[in-house]
């Protein structure tokens, strides 16, 4: 970038940063103890079309898709026009800073990053990046769903020419980057053409394990975090920080043929030189970034983007190491020294050496600041909740829009750092063995004189704008009296206030989904796991056996000893399952003669059983299984395994 153009670009960015910062400060509510709150109604952020056309989010625009993407049964997986309402001034129901992010994320279509590199954005939560090789496209990541990735690839071919896929690269082990693999290229074509599939070390284990062991719980919480039940309008889902939404379609995966395991690893794919850098244990357990010397371009995967990310993701996951994340970003500053552009697998790129250095340095310092200040206060004796109230980004970082809390937040990331070092216990003896929520709520409500008095106090708090306190009061009433319509409606109203004021899309979605479920109840079904079948077929059987062990009902298993031989006729694998001391053990070995029963079946039928599509009576009567030994004992064994429905209530007990 020429000096004058770069200076102009920086000036525009600076002026807009100041505008958003002034508006955010100007609209702080009376409950100023939380940095997430600003009055979306008292001020508005106007993003003119002229400014938008000049922004980096629109740079390189080629074409935009329209219409809907549907699955094989006609269900809408993605609607390109669903967020058409996100334009112009921020409505009273949306934090103006979040509205700005939602507007930028709403720039969908095919974009040219630099000569020979393109991105498809707005087809799902993440991006697909295309790199021109000698014989075709090297595809970076594959979105969440097969349906959306197939449409994205078809759209690229329509505008860039009908090229084949010459390689597929997975930057990390999160589903929104690999789930649509089979929409990019079929397993048969990848195998027959010997397409290189590149991924970081540990990719397959990390990519599959999270969706098996705690899939029902994470899937239920994901409904809240990603706002999947919310209507797409100004009082519902407007954005997800990283992108517009998640496409809940058919998910698959392709096993890597090349694994990057070194700290720095060079290779050539279809004539293009790659320099991979291991970043595992930061944003994802398995992740890498890479530099493309032929293009003077750097891919930061999901370690960097135009939002503060999560050190702890609200859907539930292992806590991430803030200090290591910052350290890898610091290393990236060296890797990008010769780069003209940095592109990532969410959001839009950053162009120009000075902009790139500033962008990465601010990201690095944001995570390091949260880490260091949390540890400082921790060592002074404060607990996680206390620290989250007082740690605020310094002005130099707070004014930088790429580290604003549109996805992760300073407040819950502080708690993640605390949890990473200290765990759940804050060292106060009263919190060592507290009463569970429902029992505590019953006592609090009685102590405060009954539900009517608590509701009255909550109304007074609402009138004063003390929404956090109102939520705390009403939570206890709804726990104790889930049929108390007045309390539920007031709590829903409180969540609306909190959601409308939240700068974080994840916080907004949590609050507004809580409000929706107080009024309408939980969903009839949990997240459909049947859509995972293509991915689960690539998952080692051990992951399913671990999940079976974690579903054992200890009360039903009390005092029982059972041994079951599990034989897979198609893969020739055999396992011995044993229940003892209310624990289910498994070991891969030959069938044992003294087993209560031997169950022989194929792996695909076993997956149907795990997904709840076959089991119990159907399993015992199916012509796809063979049973030797005691059918009664086998039935007893499976009757002790709970099937998590995945639609449990969250806002009531």
The pLDDT of residue 532 is 78
pLDDT band for 631, please (50, 70, 90 cuts). Answer: very high
pLDDT(534) > 90: no
The pLDDT of residue 30 is 38
Helix (H) or strand (E) holding 7: helix 3-26
Range(s) of the domain holding residue 596: 540-639
Pairing of strands 574-580, 583-588: antiparallel
The pLDDT of residue 32 is 40
Helices (H), 144-230: 146-160, 181-184, 187-192, 203-213, 215-225
pLDDT band for 199, please (50, 70, 90 cuts). Answer: very high
CA distance 146 to 252: 7
With respect to residue 512, please indicate whether it lies within any of the assigned structural domains. no
For 38, 96, 185, 488, the CA distances from 502, given in Å and listed in that order, are 7, 9, 40, 21
- The predicted-structure confidence for 292-329, as pLDDT tens digits, reads as follows 999 999 999 999 999 999 999 999 988 999 999 999 99
CA distance 541 to 558: 26
CA distance 74 to 234: 26
CATH (domain of 211)? 3.60.15.30
- In terms of pTM, does the model score above 0.95? no
Nearest C-alpha neighbor of 94 from the set 508, 415, 442: 508
Main-chain dihedrals φ then ψ at residue 20, nearest 5 degrees: -65, -40
Q: Are residues 206 and 344 in the same domain?
A: yes
CATH (domain of 632)? 3.30.1050.10
Q: Number of folded domains in the chain?
A: 2
Q: Give the distance, in angstroms, between the CA of residue 130 and the centroid of all CA atoms in the same chain.
A: 23
Angle at 210 between CA 615 and CA 169, to 5 degrees: 120
Q: 3-state DSSP call for residue 62?
A: strand
CA distance 7 to 570: 64
Main-chain dihedrals φ then ψ at residue 599, nearest 5 degrees: -110, 120
With respect to residue 210, please indicate whether it lies within any of the assigned structural domains. yes
CA distance 627 to 618: 13
With respect to residue 527, please indicate whether it lies within any of the assigned structural domains. no
Q: Are 114 and 340 in contact (CB under 8 A)?
A: yes
Q: Are 320 and 206 in contact (CB under 8 A)?
A: no
With respect to residue 516, please indicate whether it lies within any of the assigned structural domains. no
Q: Which of 81-85, 547-551, 638-642 has the highest mean pLDDT?
A: 81-85
Query: Considering 387, 416, 445, which residue would you say is the last residue of a domain?
Result: 416
Q: Which of 38-52, 53-67, 299-313, 638-652 has the highest mean pLDDT?
A: 299-313
pLDDT(137) > 80: yes
Q: How many helices (H) and strands (E) does the chain have?
A: 24, 21
- The predicted-structure confidence for 221-264, as pLDDT tens digits, reads as follows 999 999 999 999 999 999 999 999 999 999 999 999 999 999 99
Nearest C-alpha neighbor of 204 from the set 533, 537, 611, 453: 537
Q: 3-state DSSP call for residue 76?
A: strand
Query: Considering 398, 416, 434, which residue would you say is the last residue of a domain?
Result: 416
The pLDDT of residue 47 is 52
pLDDT(37) > 60: no
The pLDDT of residue 572 is 94
The pLDDT of residue 644 is 86
Better-predicted residue by pLDDT, 216 or 480: 480
- The predicted-structure confidence for 568-601, as pLDDT tens digits, reads as follows 999 999 999 999 999 999 999 999 999 999 999 9
The pLDDT of residue 55 is 83
Q: Are residues 203 and 340 in the same domain?
A: yes
With respect to residue 610, please indicate whether it lies within any of the assigned structural domains. yes
- The predicted-structure confidence for 416-451, as pLDDT tens digits, reads as follows 999 999 999 999 999 999 999 999 999 999 999 999
The pLDDT of residue 645 is 86
With respect to residue 490, please indicate whether it lies within any of the assigned structural domains. no
With respect to residue 471, please indicate whether it lies within any of the assigned structural domains. no
pLDDT band for 7, please (50, 70, 90 cuts). Answer: very low
Nearest C-alpha neighbor of 77 from the set 152, 154, 141, 130: 152
With respect to residue 492, please indicate whether it lies within any of the assigned structural domains. no
pLDDT(633) > 60: yes
Query: In this predicted structure, which of 11-15, 119-123, 345-349, 622-626 has the lowest mean pLDDT?
Result: 11-15
Q: Mean pLDDT across the stretch 202-215? A: 86
The pLDDT of residue 33 is 41
CA distance 388 to 411: 5
The pLDDT of residue 341 is 98
Crossing angle of the two packed helices 410-422 and 322-335, in degrees rounded to 10: 110
Side-chain-side CA neighbours of residue 436 (13 Å): 4
The pLDDT of residue 525 is 87
**Sequence-separated (6 or more) residues with CB below 8 Å from residue 153:** 128, 139, 165, 183, 184
Helices (H), 336-450: 353-379, 384-390, 395-398, 410-422, 437-447
pLDDT band for 48, please (50, 70, 90 cuts). Answer: low
Query: In this predicted structure, which of 5-9, 67-71, 89-93 has the lowest mean pLDDT?
Result: 5-9
Nearest C-alpha neighbor of 368 from the set 329, 409, 423: 329
Query: Considering 382, 400, 416, which residue would you say is the last residue of a domain?
Result: 416
């Amino acid at each position: 970038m020429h000096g004058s153009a770069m200076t102009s670009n920086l000036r525009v960015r600076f002026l807009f940063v100041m505008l958003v910062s002034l508006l955010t400060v100007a609209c702080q509510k009376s409950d100023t103890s939380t940095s997430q709150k600003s009055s979306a109604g008292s001020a508005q952020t106007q993003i003119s079309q002229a400014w938008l056309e000049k922004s980096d989010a629109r740079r390189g625009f080629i074409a935009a898709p329209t219409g809907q993407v549907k699955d094989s049964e006609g269900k809408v997986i993605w609607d390109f026009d669903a967020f058409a309402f996100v334009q112009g001034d921020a409505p009273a129901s949306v934090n103006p800073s979040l509205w700005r992010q939602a507007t930028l994320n709403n720039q969908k279509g095919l974009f040219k990053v630099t000569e020979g590199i393109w991105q498809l954005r707005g087809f799902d939560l993440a991006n697909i990046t295309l790199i021109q090789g000698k014989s075709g496209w090297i595809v970076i990541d594959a979105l969440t769903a097969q349906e959306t990735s197939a449409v994205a690839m078809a759209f690229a071919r329509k505008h860039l020419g009908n090229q084949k896929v010459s390689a597929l690269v997975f930057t990390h082990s999160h589903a929104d980057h690999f789930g649509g693999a089979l929409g990019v290229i079929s397993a048969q074509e990848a195998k027959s053409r010997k397409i290189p599939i590149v991924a970081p070390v540990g990719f397959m284990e990390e990519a599959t394990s999270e969706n098996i062991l705690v899939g029902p719980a994470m899937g239920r919480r994901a409904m809240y975090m990603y706002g999947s039940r919310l209507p797409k309008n100004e009082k519902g889902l407007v954005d997800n920080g990283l992108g517009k939404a998640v496409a809940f379609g058919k998910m698959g995966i392709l096993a890597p043929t090349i694994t990057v395991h070194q700290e720095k690893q060079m290779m050539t794919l279809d004539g293009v030189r790659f320099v991979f850098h291991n970043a595992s244990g930061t944003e994802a357990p398995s992740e890498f970034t890479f530099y493309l010397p032929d293009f003077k371009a750097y891919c930061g995967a999901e370690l960097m983007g135009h939002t503060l990310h999560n050190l702890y993701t609200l859907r539930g996951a292992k806590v991430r190491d803030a200090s290591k994340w910052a350290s890898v970003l610091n290393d990236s500053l060296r890797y990008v020294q010769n780069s003209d552009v940095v592109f990532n697998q969410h959001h839009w790129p950053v162009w120009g050496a000075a902009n790139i250095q500033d962008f990465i340095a601010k990201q690095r310092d944001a995570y390091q600041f949260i880490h260091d200040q949390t540890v400082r206060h921790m060592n002074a004796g404060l607990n996680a909740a206390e620290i989250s109230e007082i740690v605020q980004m310094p002005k130099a970082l707070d004014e930088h829009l790429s580290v604003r809390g549109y996805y992760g937040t300073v407040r819950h990331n502080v708690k993640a750092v605390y949890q990473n070092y200290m765990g759940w216990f804050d060292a106060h003896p009263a919190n060592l063995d507290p009463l569970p929520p429902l029992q505590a709520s019953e006592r609090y409500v009685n102590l405060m004189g009954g539900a009517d008095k608590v509701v009255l106090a909550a109304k007074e708090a609402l009138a004063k704008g003390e929404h956090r306190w109102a939520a705390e009061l009403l939570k206890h009433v709804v726990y104790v009296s889930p049929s108390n319509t007045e309390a539920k409606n007031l709590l829903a109203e409180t969540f609306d206030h909190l959601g409308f004021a939240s700068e974080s899309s994840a916080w907004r979605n949590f609050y507004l989904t809580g409000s929706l479920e107080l009024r309408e109840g939980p969903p009839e079904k949990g997240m459909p796991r049947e859509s995972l079948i293509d991915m689960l077929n690539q998952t080692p059987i051990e992951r399913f056996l671990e999940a079976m062990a974690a579903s054992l009902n200890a009360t039903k298993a009390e005092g029982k000893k059972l041994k079951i031989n599990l034989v897979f006729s198609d893969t020739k694998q055999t396992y011995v399952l044993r229940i003892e001391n209310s624990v289910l053990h498994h070991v891969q070995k030959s069938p044992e003669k003294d087993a209560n029963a031997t169950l022989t079946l194929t792996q695909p039928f076993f997956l149907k059983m795990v997904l709840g599509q076959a089991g119990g009576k159907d399993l015992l009567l199916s012509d796809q299984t063979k049973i030797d030994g005691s059918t009664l004992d086998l039935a007893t064994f499976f009757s002790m395994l709970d099937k998590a429905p995945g639609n449990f209530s969250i806002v009531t007990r």
